[in-house]
Amino acid sequence: MSAQGLLIALTKGRILEEVLPLLEKAGIIPAEDISKSRKLIFDSNIEGVRLMVLRGSDVPTYVELGCADIGIAGKDVIMETGSSGFYEPLDLKLATCRLMTARPVAQNKSPKRMRVASKFVNIAKAYFSEKGQQVDIIKLNGALELAPIMGLADCIVDIVDTGKTLKANGLEPEELIAEISTRVIVNKAAMKLKHAQIQDLLMRLQKAVN
């Protein structure tokens, strides 16, 4: 937990682009243009409220370990941490997409033991184990669609938004694992010790979402 004020960890990229207008609606405006700066930490128009810009997968870590009081991250990266070390009080309903399995269109028979490529290895493991299906998980960091094309994997677990990337690479979505959207997470100690300040922020954000 940050010693004073509120430190909010934001996810850079597409989530940031959608979150900044929402923050502004909630009355929180960065002191400078985040998209034009190489800085990673910013003051805001509210005394004591500061914003950090991180990779999405690092946001839950900062919040859980108390280096940020609040985090804004995709449900996919939150699920992937598998952690219950923070609260998740609010769905901002931004950057919505689906986490799905996908496979080559022409593939009509699955091998006995599937090889599944994903960035989300923990989610993929949990999903197939829940189905009682033994699979080999292959960790990749991007361009997952290439894995089935190149014979590295039989299927992938990935984010699907418009479905264009799958289609362009001869793949089709198969099973829905989870509906994804941007969530607010809160450090557990901060929720107690900075309760009024955090509730006020959550209320402003909730209003902005509505």
Q: Which residues bind ligand PRP (CB under 6 A)?
A: 142-143, 158-165
* Nearest residue (CB) to ligand PRP, 111 versus 142: 142
* Nearest residue (CB) to ligand PRP, 162 versus 210: 162
> What's the closest the beta carbon of residue 17 comes to ligand PRP, in angstroms?
12
Largest Cα span, the chain:
60
> What's the closest the beta carbon of residue 169 comes to ligand PRP, in angstroms?
9
> What's the closest the beta carbon of residue 92 comes to ligand PRP, in angstroms?
18
Does residue 54 contact residue 19 with C-beta atoms inside 8 Å? no
> Two tokens at 97?
């997409």
* Nearest residue (CB) to ligand PRP, 56 versus 71: 56
Specify the residue for token string 């070390």. 85
The single-letter DSSP state of residue 149 is H
* Type of residue found at 140: L
Burial 130-146 (b: 16+ CB within 10 A, else e): eeeeebebbebeeebbe
> What's the closest the beta carbon of residue 158 comes to ligand PRP, in angstroms?
5
* Type of residue found at 209: V
* Nearest residue (CB) to ligand PRP, 107 versus 165: 165
